[in-house]
Chains A and B, each alone.
Chain A
Amino acid sequence: MKASINWLEDYIDLSGLSPREVADKLTMAGLEVENLSDRFAHLNQVVSARLEKVEPMPKSDHLNICQVNAGSFGHFQVVCGAPNARVGLVAPLALVGVTLPSGLTIESTKLRGHDSYGMLCSEVELGLGGASGGIIELDNVEPGRTMKDVTGREDWVMEIGITPNRPDGLSIIGLARDLSALLNRPMKTVDYKLEETGPDVNTLGQVTIEAPEHANRYVARVITGLKIGPSPQWMVDRLAAVGIRSISNVVDVTNYVMIEMGLPLHAFDLDTVAGHHIIVKTYPKGVHFTTLDGQDRELKADVNLMICDGEKAVGLAGIMGGLNSEIESTTTNILLEGAYFNATTIRKASRALGLSTDASYRFERGCDPEICPRAVDRAIALMAELAGGSVAKGRIDCYPKPFKPTIVSFSPEKCNAYLGTEHRPEDMVRVLTAIGLKVEKAADGALSATLPSWRPDLSREVDVWEEVARLLDFDQLPATLPAPPVKRQSPPPAWTLREATRAHLAAQGFSESITYSFINRNFADKLGLSDDSPIRQRILPLLNPLSEEQGVLRPLLAPSLLTALRLNQNQGQKEVAMFELGAVFLSNGLDRQPDEKQTIGGLWAGFTGSGNWIEPARAVDFWDVKGVVESLAENLNLNISFCRGEELPVWYNPAEAALIKLEDGRLLGHLGRLNKKAAKGFGLKEVFGPVYLFELDGQEILKTGFSRKPFQGWSKFPQADRDMALVLDKDVPASRVIETIKEDGAIPLTDVLLFDLYEGDQLPEGKKSLAFRLTFQTAEKTLTDDEVNEFFQTITSRLDQKLGAALRS
């Protein structure tokens, strides 16, 4: 909402306050002034200048090259096409750099090869009036004065962000009312004369409301014999200040009163209204109607409230009039509508049509039904003043269910207790009265407040308390600390899991990334998911995404990490170690919330090691990534194992990938090397080295529960180490060997370290050698050599029996 200080002053005395102070008052009352500017600020950069030389430009029939003297601002050469440019004339010169009301910014230019430093201006160009005949002739003005100084023009305009609860703020009188309370100054009234010289209005027109649940009031007046024409300058100026272009005297008046009083009005050409009968009724979906902007529109809401005459629709109620009843230059008789339409009805229709107007914007927030007669009177009087004609006697007023104000009790003590303030009851009553509440004392001394018709947001006592807070030094509110509850809750396990994982992975050299939860649906193709893959089946798309890039909710973190990797490869990053913690989404259909799985995703790609003199860089490998997953699991106190299996996602290279399982066999996740096809799909470059990924299902971790390991003491007795080199078949996995070594629970084995793996010429075909260091220790005593040898013996014979592993000689 734009409002000018100048207009506000019709309704409230603002003397002694700067525009900034007025703006600050409104802002601190919840009517946030987002911008404050003087509509004539440009006149500071327009100066009076005397034309000292005027020469016709060669090969031009109307352009002159003028040498002008702008006093202390300097001498300039300006090209000018005005017919009245002549030597000796003093005219306004817009200096280079100024932006004129039309939006034109003056620059130094060359016109047909001739330099021009500025522009000599007409009234229209300076926003000073309607005369565009030529440049302004400044009689008796010496060169070198600013036009601001010469004209004294000033018009401060505020742009106010009105919150949706405050439809009253969308009018000059509404703003003035708040200022009245804030400044403790009375509202002023605007006097106007309304002479009813015509016949009884009921002889000229008729109104019927057929849909009272959607249109609760319809006030109409009729004026005959007026003359459509341009508006006077004061009207053009006032509308221009609030961003409305002048159209004609009659249309301007409807806009003027809308801004002033907040009620959208509509003027119909009475002669196009069949039977001079206005009927307000609803239309079904699908009907077509041409609005006065010439657009043919199909009605799309369930309920379309229409203004009709005896034969046809003539307007979309509360949104826009029809082309068929538009005011033309030949119009002489007018029926003026001031109505109250149901806010929800108008909102639904406006949204269904995709058509929002100044009128619909106000109606859908809730207009004041009680202001209809006043607004219509004010407008018809202005029309008569500006366009002549004769106003019919009386108004038509259909008002099926007159407004009944709500009365609430109001306790100043409770109000102060709620706010934590110590306002005096008389101050509360004063500001409430100023904004139109009627505060009354009952016989028992209790107060009640009658709520005004223009404040649909007020309906309860707490709403009144807010008005007190808002209007009585909101900024002076004391600051106190309440006593917190004695008992606290621990953070949700998902939060704790993320905290623990984040700390661990960051300590491992991984950087955390956060990316959008929505991704391009084509990730599934890029990864190579089959058409019937369960992931693809459960993709959850957005109904109204901003773009295809952000079209679906991600069911995996891998696509986000790979997209991030690509960006970093483009930046030339040789090593990328990144992780993301967040929810992934798996659809449960459109009527149930999806599964939101907390997920841990990681990526390690390229070459690790700084590559400096002592630390050569090398390609990241499987063991790097596996080590990270192992240490994370250990940190979270999870027992995990790695295996191959059917469930391995297709984007991995199966030679270098594994499933990760929990102790009880549940699948925790997977890790491995990205295959070439997927790497290509994501636009990754091979020269940047291999790409490894891991993805763990946080939900499974949360189900299992994770914790720090409990404290364990240690033995006072020394430990004994024994090395063991085994020769066995190549296809026996190391994990089975280790399991077998550990199998006998009676042996006090505290550590098994695989310190060497050998495959080669020294061994028979199909064999490999694994070398282990076994550590033995008990809490009870020092182990003797004999005892350790016996343990060793037991283990080696079991390895021999079960795996055919022989000690390497």
Chain B
Amino acid sequence: MSSQQLIERINEAEAKAVAAFKSAATAEQLEAARIEYLGTKGLFTDLMKALGSLPKDERPQAGGAANKARQSATEAHQAAKEALESASSRDSFLDITLPGRRKPAGHCHVISRTAAEICEIFAKLGFSIAEGPEVETDYYNFEALNFPHDHPARDMQDTLFVSQELLLRTHTSPCQVRTMEKSQPPVWVVVPGKTYRRDSDISHSPMFHQVEGLAVDKGITFADLKGVLTAFATAMFSPDTKIRLRPSFFPFTEPSAEVDIACVLCHGQGCRLCKGTGWLEILGSGMVDPAVYGFVDYDPEKFSGFAFGMGIERVAMLKYGLDDIRMFYESDLRFLKQF
């Protein structure tokens, strides 16, 4: 046999072996094919032996071909063997598409979540949390905040009363006075909590939540108020959120300002949400009116400070795109489970 002929036979044997392994349907058939081709008395052994009969200088070429063919046949056998094995164990495979066992997840209310988020941002800026009673006295809710009796300023907040002197707090601001009564500056607090007004429609709820802020110390300026609120707005919404201060009136701040943020939907271009103005009002603020210091024995010549108050619902509605304030209080699980 010439080396040429031998190489042809080797290639032929390889093709046959690969085909036999592939076509083996059972382990027994595969084993028989293995013995036939790769066994110690198999075809490849015979061909290897035949190499010896070639002239010395032709052996390396044919030998290389033989080794290669054998190698490839061995791989084909291994692949066929694994395929057969996995096929035989398929019955014990799980249908991994079946739904799993799930522990039901509970949900924190979006108001709690938002309140915590707001307080967290202010905590990083240096504010501590304070709380106060929801049924307040006229004194703390109005009088000490410079709302005189029989003043039209009281009309700004339609009040739910318990008695002549007791009412449901219309804002979290009474806690400003309570906090200042207890300690001397520096006072840096935020006051989250429930507030109440006699008002009910798609954008007003008789109960809602506010976070009040107060910072009183030496040398606090109106520009500091803007800085703190800019830091808040950018942290709460997005780093490029712009804010705008607009003069307004609250009896307990002077100057007073409404604070708008650039519309979260149209980014200031003007849309339905912002009624074409490009701005959304989110909070009221100002420099604490010296008249308030009079109620808590702070020296307005020595100290100055700012205060602000925002509706948590308002912030949450803007952040999550909600349009009906009443949904917060209906306890519909279809709502609660989304947050």
Contacts and interface: CB of A to CB of B under 8 A. Distances in A.
B246 A571 contact: no
B297 interface: no
B216 to A, nearest CB: 10
Interface in A4-52: 27-30, 32
B333 A480 contact: no
Given A477-B223, A546-B206, A578 B217 contact: no
Contact of A482 (B194, B220, B230, B328): B220
A715 interface: no
A466 B102 contact: no
Interface string B94-114: 000011111111111101100
B333 A571 contact: yes
A613 B100 CA distance: 9
A347 B150 contact: yes
Interface in B196-248: 196, 198, 200, 206-207, 215, 217, 219-224, 226-228, 230-231, 244-248
Given A347-B150, A499-B116, A485 B332 contact: no
Nearest to A34: B275
A517 B223 contact: no
Contacts, number: 254
Contacts of A492: 129-131
A469 B286 CA distance: 11
B143 to A, nearest CB: 15
B14 interface: no
Contacts of A498: 112
B92 interface: no
B161 A543 contact: yes
B257 interface: yes
A491 to B, nearest CB: 4
A489 interface: yes
B106 A480 contact: no
A573 B223 CA distance: 52
Contacts of A165: 153, 249, 251
A502 interface: yes
Nearest to B128: A489
Interface stretch (B40-48, B50-58, B75-83, B132-140): B132-140
B99 A613 contact: yes
Contacts of B131: 492, 494-495
Interface in A464-492: 465-466, 469-470, 474-475, 477-482, 484-485, 488-492
Contacts of A29: 247
B255 interface: yes
A488 B126 contact: yes
A578 B331 contact: yes
Contacts of A27: 246
A509 interface: yes
Contact of B129 (A466, A495, A546, A593): A495
Contact of A571 (B153, B219, B290, B334): B334
Interface stretch (A59-67, A183-191, A583-591, A644-652): A583-591
B27 interface: no
Given A418-B287, A511-B333, A568-B332, A506 B130 contact: no
Nearest to A462: B254
A514 to B, nearest CB: 5
B170 to A, nearest CB: 13
A419 B221 contact: yes
Given A418-B222, A481-B231, A614-B101, A564 B161 contact: no
Interface string A369-386: 000000000000000000
B221 A485 contact: no
B255 A470 contact: yes
Contact of A511 (B106, B156, B194, B290): B106
Contacts of B68: none
15 contacts: A470-B247, A474-B246, A477-B226, A479-B230, A480-B221, A480-B226, A484-B188, A511-B107, A512-B112, A517-B194, A540-B162, A550-B206, A575-B104, A590-B164, A596-B134
Given A482-B227, A585-B135, 15 more contacts: A163-B156, A421-B222, A475-B245, A479-B227, A489-B128, A495-B129, A512-B108, A517-B194, A542-B168, A564-B331, A567-B331, A567-B332, A582-B194, A591-B165, A596-B134
Q: Which 9 A-B pairs have the closest CB atoms?
A: A484-B126, A420-B223, A30-B247, A420-B221, A564-B331, A163-B249, A506-B106, A489-B128, A466-B255
Interface of A: 27-30, 32, 163-166, 344, 347-348, 364-365, 417-421, 460, 462-463, 465-466, 469-470, 474-475, 477-482, 484-485, 488-492, 494-495, 498-499, 502-503, 505-518, 540-546, 550, 553, 560, 563-564, 567-568, 571, 573, 575-578, 582-583, 585, 590-591, 593-594, 596, 608, 610, 612-615
